[in-house]
Structure 1
Amino acid sequence: MGVSHRYHVTPGVFANSLVSVVDNSGAKVARVISVIGNRSHGVHRKIHNAGVGDMIVVSVVEGRPEVRKQKLRAIVVRQRRPFRRHDGTWVAFDDNAVVIVSEEGQPKGTEIHGPIAMEAAQRWPQIASLAALVI
């Protein structure tokens, strides 16, 4: 078996969670609707979950009027729930945060406020180039 570049991250963002949007796309708070590429699709009564670096579908709750009440895609860049890295360190952030992206994963904003996790930066290099701090 080859080495996988996809890290396993303990999920910390679930369906119907409120997350803060940390880019300058105009959205401030979003609600998680579903997870893109979830392996548990079709499992009865399963609560879909996402971790750092996963793409999700969100509905904008607070923000500018032109982006409110829209379904958009986003990438999870921070989560409150601690997750373990391969070197044994545990990482947890103060909030759950996402970055609004297009269908292909291109960020809609031009800057990202606050730090982002290294796992999200490795999986989405376009987001890493906008981030001021990668932890």
Structure 2
Amino acid sequence: MIYNLTLLNVCDNSGVKTIKCFKIYNSAYGKLGGLVNASVKKAKAKNKLDKGTVVKAIIIRKKRLTDRKTGNFISFDSNDVIILNEKQEPVSTRIFGPMPLELRKKSCLKLLSLTSILI
């Protein structure tokens, strides 16, 4: 489950490694495709997003089981997000790892086009 003060991994090429969630939109806990406000905790050197920068992100993977309409369940190894800009577009140009097809219903088609593996 993703709550406030949860550490999340960033799985894109924006240069940020981890962020800490401090606000979840429209829910008490984070769901797939949910928006969060977070603070950058670890970043690579010479990056425009330094430590302490407040960013918006979208949750694309979570450890907790997610059920599908077919009766199957899906879970991932870690809680991962992608950093967004003010226009709700991804800052990065690549996404690492698989992405679930549930994001198609959340109108995240731009994000799905950046990845190579869909589950």
Identity of aligned residues (%): 28
Q: 2:22 aligns with which of 27, 33, 54?
A: 33
Task: State the TM-score, normalized to the length of structure 1.
Answer: 0.80
The alignment's TM-score, normalised by the length of structure 2, stands at 0.90
Find the aligned partners of 2:41 and 2:87 in 1 and give their Cα distance.
23
Partner of 1:91: 74
Task: Check if 1:106 corresponds to 2:89.
Answer: yes
CA contact (8 A) 1:76 1:120 kept: no
Tell me how far apart the structure 2 counterparts of residues 121 and 111 of structure 1 sit (CA, whole Å): 18
**Post-superposition offset of 1:58:** 1.1
| Offset of residue 103 of structure 1 | 2.7
For residues 84-110 of structure 1, the C-alpha deviation after alignment (integer angstroms, 9 at most, x for no partner) is 111111010000000001233210000
Instruction: Give the whole-Å Cα distance in 2 for the aligned partners of 1:87 and 1:103.
Output: 35
4+ runs of 1 displaced by more than 4 Å? none
Unmatched 5+ residue regions in structure 1?
Answer: 1-11, 40-47
Q: What is the DSSP-based 3-state SS (H/G/I as helix, E as strand, rest coil) of the residue aligned with 1:126?
A: helix
The amino acid of 2:59's aligned partner reads V
Counterpart Cα distance in 2 of 1:112 and 1:75: 12
Match in the other structure for 1:58 = 38
**Counterpart-to-counterpart distance in 2, 1:54 and 1:103:** 16
CA RMSD of aligned residues (A): 1.3
8 Å Cα contact 1:121-1:127 kept in structure 2? no
Count of residue pairs the alignment pairs up:
115
- Describe the superposition over 1:106-134 as per-residue Cα deviations: whole angstroms up to 9, x where unpaired: 10000000011211244211110101111
Aligned to 1:13, what secondary structure does the other structure show?
Answer: coil
Q: Tell me the CA shift for residue 76 of structure 1.
A: 0.3
